Amino acid sequence: MRTRRLLQITILALSLTILFLSLRELYKDKNRRISTSRFESLTVKVNGPGDGMNINCFYDLYHGSGAWYFFLPSCADPALSTVDFRNASYLEIEDINGTILKIPKGGNLGGLNRNETYLIRFCRSDGSVAEEGKIEYMHSEELPAVFITTESGRMDLLEEDKSHSESGQIYIVNPDGTADVLSALSSIHGHGNTSWRLDKRPWLLELQRNFSVLGMNPAKKWLLIANRLDVSKVRNPLVNEMSDVLNIPYMNYVYADVYFNGQYGGLFQIYEKPEVWPGRIDITDLDNENKKVNSTLYKDVETDKVNDDNSDAERVFAKLPHDPGDITGGYLIEHNYADRYGYRACRFRTKTGERYTLRSPTYATKAEVDYIADLFQKVEDLAIAGDPSIEQYIDLESFADKYLLEEFINNEANAATSSFFYKDVDFKDPLLHAGPAWDYDKILGNTWNDSMDYIETLKFNTNHKHQTMLFYNLYQKNEAFLDIVKRNYRDKLRPYVEKLIESDLDRLSQDVEHDRGMDALRWHDTPESIAEDKEFIRTYLKKRMDFCDRVWLEDAPLCIVHFQGDLQDRNPYIGVIKGDPMGDLPFLPDAAEGQEVCWVNQATGEQITEGTIITENIEAVVEKKK
């Protein structure tokens, strides 16, 4: 686990240094820049709209191999893929056996083999060599391709800030070369939070009109998910399948090779956006209803807020004069923590400080914010009281299944962020539902938080910055909720996890393997690291299942250790099987200079370590080391 964490830290460090290294290498040595000029003009044209799509030759400074790369999509037929270049009459491409292919401008790449390195020469008309180097020919299989051309023809402006946006063109090609989507791109801009700060970035695309992308339901908005933090790239897919067996809504995806302005960007997942939309979150669109009755006022909407002087409650609403006829739905709500709470125009806090933002409607009237905030406040109050009448307000099974999913996979976001709820109009469905499932790259031991990664404890969705207490209260105080958790673990989730361990993990990784190592090379992973991460997941799942069997099938007694405020503004409640060691501890707050601090049992003053055997409920506080 420590090795994996070092790898994760290394990825973040690379995110900050790759750009610097690139600029330094490109400009510090002008002679080197001149010597690679012909390679920079080398392009391959594959089938596409009009004359086809050009793919640039790629040079990777990171590997220091001196090699250039052709990254070709599955749809490219080497015998039909033509090359272009400048300042030479023809190319000579020589394999390791000394066999030489001569390729003129407009010639094809027939005869080259996947994942082989060749010596390439730019030759003058008299046969003399103007320039030479190494090139590796890489070619994916059975994957669609996405070609994005921005209006400026550049990506650096978009990468400066995720709020920057450009229009452009998008062309999506099936693996067999047939066209799937050809459209103007209304906009492309950055997406995500932690993932946006990495070197391989996620993107939000808005097409000119609704399109069915690669068999998914028609829509304008689509996400390109980079999975930079997930080496194996199977964590989101396996959670989708877990969500399916638990009847939790989730967003569909398709893997694809993605090219930005002719440059290979890597293997992405084209994901449906979690939004109120037919085939996604298929509930009444209250945004549209608001627009109908406020049609001339739905631009540059001002907001206002109301605070409760006696609690942490707050309500922020849009200053719109008209409400639609029915304000009971539909709503898409996201639980978020303080750093991200202000991102959305309309939002509310409950009396205990739980933070919720409205994803839909974007602009909610005061009556609408009051309606949905009152509902969440009612749910919070009933959960704290352990009142079984909560089932009059929420779909208890969906809440139990969402908790079961988050708990089993040890989700780093831990229901504190990217945690969704939805509600339709009352006459269709009067209950609040938990879901859809979303954003699962930092799960199953893939976080920076040791106590979150630890396999043999429960976290109750409390082990995150400004955590939620809703699921903890339901687990501890609502017998029906806990019964559903145990039943659905036994009957639904556990049988799937057994299949996942035995064979389905290999099935899920096949799409990743179809890129034939292109993304790994482009973003500095290795086939070995991908295989290692997959086996890490398999082992983690088996150990996690064994632990959850003890808790939910064998009813092993739990003790609760409450850590009162850690370094990351967390306030975790951790469930330990009675008689087991504590395991990894939460972060410690910073100590004054020259002091060391530790966790101690508030009642006894005894220090709590990873090896401390837990036999009772404990309130843990921070004290100076003696």
For 137-184, the pLDDT digits (tens) are 999 999 999 999 999 999 999 999 989 999 999 999 999 989 999 999
Of 272, 297, 312, which residue constitutes the final position of a domain? Answer: 272
- Under the banding of pLDDT at 50, 70 and 90, the label for residue 527 is confident
Residue 488 lies in a domain: no
Residue 11 lies in a domain: yes
Residue 281 lies in a domain: no
Q: Are 48 and 129 contained in the same domain?
A: yes
Kind plus residue range of the DSSP H or E element containing 123: strand 116-123
Q: Are 366 and 507 contained in the same domain?
A: no
Q: Closest Cα partner for 93 from 153, 137, 156?
A: 137
- Please compute the mean of the pLDDT values over residues 102-113 and round it to a whole number: 90
The whole-number pLDDT of residue 309 equals 86
Question: What would the two tokens of residue 178 be?
Answer: 């047939």
Q: Which residue has the higher pLDDT, 283 or 412?
A: 283
Of 219, 243, 272, which residue constitutes the final position of a domain? Answer: 272
Alpha helices by DSSP H, 201-328: 235-245, 286-293
- How far is 568 from 583, CA to CA, in rounded Å? 19
pLDDT at 25 over 80: no
Residue 277 lies in a domain: no
The number of domains in the chain is 5
For the ranges 17-26, 75-84, 185-194, 203-212, the one whose mean pLDDT is highest: 203-212
Q: Are 166 and 182 contained in the same domain?
A: yes
Q: Coil, helix or strand for 585?
A: coil
- Under the banding of pLDDT at 50, 70 and 90, the label for residue 8 is low
pLDDT at 31 over 50: no
Show the domain range for 9.
Answer: 1-28
Residue 251 lies in a domain: yes
Q: What are the contacts of 335-338 at 24+ separation with CB within 8 A?
A: 335/415, 335/416, 335/417, 335/419, 335/420, 335/421, 335/468, 336/416, 336/417, 336/419, 337/416, 337/417, 337/464, 337/465, 337/466, 337/467, 338/465, 338/466, 338/569
The angle, 0 to 180 degrees and rounded to 10, between the axes of the packed helices 527-548 and 505-513 is 160
- How far is 100 from 97, CA to CA, in rounded Å? 9
**Cα-trace Rg, the chain:** 27
Q: Are 558 and 576 contained in the same domain?
A: yes
Residue 485 lies in a domain: no
The whole-number pLDDT of residue 594 equals 67
CA distances from 266 to 143, 147, 193, 227, 284 (A): 12, 12, 19, 10, 37
Q: Are 338 and 442 contained in the same domain?
A: yes
- Under the banding of pLDDT at 50, 70 and 90, the label for residue 621 is very high
Question: What would the two tokens of residue 414 be?
Answer: 């831990």
The whole-number pLDDT of residue 21 equals 41
Q: Are 441 and 310 contained in the same domain?
A: yes
Q: Which residue has the higher pLDDT, 568 or 395?
A: 395
- Under the banding of pLDDT at 50, 70 and 90, the label for residue 9 is very low
Q: Are 228 and 160 contained in the same domain?
A: yes
Q: Which residue has the higher pLDDT, 508 or 466?
A: 508
Around Cβ 543, how many Cβ atoms within 10 Å?
A: 12
The whole-number pLDDT of residue 568 equals 61
Q: Are 338 and 436 contained in the same domain?
A: yes
- How far is 461 from 411, CA to CA, in rounded Å? 8
- Under the banding of pLDDT at 50, 70 and 90, the label for residue 572 is very high
List pLDDT tens digits, range 329-373. Answer: 999 999 998 888 888 999 999 999 999 999 999 999 999 999 999
Q: Are 439 and 420 contained in the same domain?
A: yes
- Please compute the mean of the pLDDT values over residues 413-438 and round it to a whole number: 95
- Under the banding of pLDDT at 50, 70 and 90, the label for residue 546 is very high
Beta bridge partners of 120: 93, 133
- Please compute the mean of the pLDDT values over residues 472-476 and round it to a whole number: 98
- How far is 441 from 590, CA to CA, in rounded Å? 28
Q: Are 418 and 449 contained in the same domain?
A: yes
Quick one: how far is CA 601 from the chain centroid? 37
Residue 538 lies in a domain: yes
CA distances from 23 to 18, 26, 27, 148 (A): 9, 5, 6, 24
Q: Are 215 and 261 contained in the same domain?
A: yes
Of 231, 249, 272, which residue constitutes the final position of a domain? Answer: 272
- How far is 405 from 30, CA to CA, in rounded Å? 55
Q: Do residues 208 and 185 touch, judged by C-beta distance below 8 A?
A: yes
Instruction: Give percent above pLDDT 90 in the chain.
Output: 74
Q: Are 300 and 437 contained in the same domain?
A: yes
- How far is 280 from 256, CA to CA, in rounded Å? 20
List pLDDT tens digits, range 598-613. Answer: 999 999 999 999 999 9
The whole-number pLDDT of residue 29 equals 40
pLDDT at 1 over 60: no
The whole-number pLDDT of residue 342 equals 86
Residue 366 lies in a domain: yes
The whole-number pLDDT of residue 596 equals 87
The whole-number pLDDT of residue 110 equals 86
pLDDT at 67 over 50: yes
The whole-number pLDDT of residue 619 equals 97
Q: Closest Cα partner for 204 from 240, 171, 163, 154?
A: 163
